[in-house]
Amino acid sequence: MTENERLGAKIRKMRLSQSLSLAKLADKIGKTSSYLSQVERGLAEPSITALREIAKALEVPIFFFLVENESHNAVVRKEERKVLKFPGSHLTFELISPDLKHEMEIIQARLEPGAATLDTPLSHNGEECTLVLEGKMRMEIGEEVYVLDPGDSVYYKASIPHKLISIGDTDLIFISAITPPNF
């Protein structure tokens, strides 16, 4: 089974478990039934934004669709982290927390110079705190813009639309703690 087929099967299984028709879910995410059917059959690869909308509509964190088996262990070894690289994206995530079944998720992300997490700012429930480990970050939260260097952090209400951009000459590496899990 290809990655697209695995992803599509998880989306379909979750949709059916909630007794949602293809048309109803497509309507909730602002896409056509045909597009969603192609995603579920592994024939189309959803963008990051589309996958976030699907996850939001199905009320699950985005990582639910992107990780194989969620661990119940409290210790996560560096070499055992769940790694997620979106196809065609300049962004890589590692899940630092063991899973998404608790009150908080912690991710480490790497973003190439000049790249942004999203095209347009995103909002979600909860709160978030982001710590820059390496590189330089431009953080847009609502109308506010912050430039953060290694060691700087920002705490904000995630319901305010936000996005970040790597503005340095090297990869931006940061850690975000998000509560409740929403990725």
**102-156 per-position pLDDT tens digit:** 788 899 999 999 999 888 898 888 899 999 999 999 999 999 999 999 999 999 9
Structure tokens, 45: 């690869």
The CATH number of the domain holding residue 166 is 2.60.120.10
CA distance 93 to 46: 17
**52-110 per-position pLDDT tens digit:** 899 999 988 887 887 765 544 478 788 888 887 766 677 888 888 877 777 888 999 99
Partners of 146 in the β-ladder: 139
- Model-level pTM? 0.62
Host domain of residue 124: 78-179
Q: Let me know if residue 68 belongs to a domain.
A: no
Question: How many structural domains are present in the chain?
Answer: 2
Q: Let me know if residue 39 belongs to a domain.
A: yes
pLDDT over 50 at 51, yes or no: yes
The answer to whether the CB of 139 falls within 8 A of the CB of 162 is yes
Q: To which H or E segment does residue 153 belong? A: strand 153-157
Q: How far is CA 37 from CA 15, 25, 73, 124, in A?
A: 12, 10, 35, 26
